[in-house]
Amino acid sequence: MDLDEWDMMCVVVCIIHDMTGEELEQKPPEVIANLIDRAGKLFAHPTDDESFDTIGFYRIIYNPSKLTLGQYVEIKFFGQQKIAHAHYYLASITKKIIGKSEHKDRAEFFHKQPVHKVLGSLKRFHEELRKLEAEYGSLYNLDPEVHAVPTGGDKFNLRHGWTFSATKVAEHERITLDEAYKLPIRQALNDLVFIKEKDKYEANLIKQNTNGR
């Protein structure tokens, strides 16, 4: 690899892992070489049709309807950086075939797997997720008067928007936030649809009363 190609791959690694050139240079040479090798595999393997029902001892949940609200909140957060956080994302939609495992353990496992396996499987899941979210299109469209799910690009919404929505679900269901995170995702989304329509209805009533004065 000549100097120009090496520099180019270092830039790619920095973009994928959301780090500066200085942060990359501070890592041991063997770590840098491993990161560059993984980045090269990312572009060397097609991911269009290659997905796996299981990777190692973990089964991938491709049906998003089987997720909980907590899992959904996780993937919406990790999905902000799909490449850099791919191993965290995949850890949120998998479960161990036998026994239990912690999210961090699954993430560490997937971080060591071939990139094309991880991204190919995530692409298949994203296609199913889009179908689910399309059923709740009105929930994701920004309403000029009121909205129940995070739609803005500000820092708070990016980091905490779905957590805020989860608190709304908890309040509506009259349960704790931890209990809300365990709800089936469809139940939670249906709750948010109701909350959004209710908030809009109440906002219109206030506007009518204000204009009628």
Is 80 exceeded by the pLDDT of residue 202? yes
The predicted pLDDT at position 188 comes to: 97
Do residues 32 and 24 make contact, with C-beta atoms less than 8 angstroms apart? yes
The SS3 of residue 108 is helix
- Residue 119 neighbours by CB distance under 10 Å: 21
Is 90 exceeded by the pLDDT of residue 112? no
Question: Mean pLDDT, to the nearest integer, of 116-135?
Answer: 91
Better pLDDT: 14 or 56: 56
Q: Tens of pLDDT along 46-87?
A: 555 688 999 999 999 999 999 999 999 999 999 887 777 888
The predicted pLDDT at position 1 comes to: 41
The predicted pLDDT at position 44 comes to: 57
What pTM did the predictor assign? 0.72
Q: Return the ∠ at Cα 81 (arms to 18 and 184), rounded to 5°.
A: 150
Q: Tens of pLDDT along 133-187?
A: 999 988 876 555 555 555 555 566 666 678 899 999 999 999 999 999 999 999 9
DSSP E strand boundaries for the chain? 54-55, 58-60, 94-96
Instruction: State the Cα–Cα distance between residues 85 and 124, nearest whole angstrom.
Output: 17
Counting Cα atoms < 13 Å in the Cβ hemisphere of 166 gives 23
Q: Tens of pLDDT along 22-51?
A: 788 888 888 888 887 777 666 555 555 688
What is the phi/psi pair of residue 184, to 5°? Answer: -60, 145
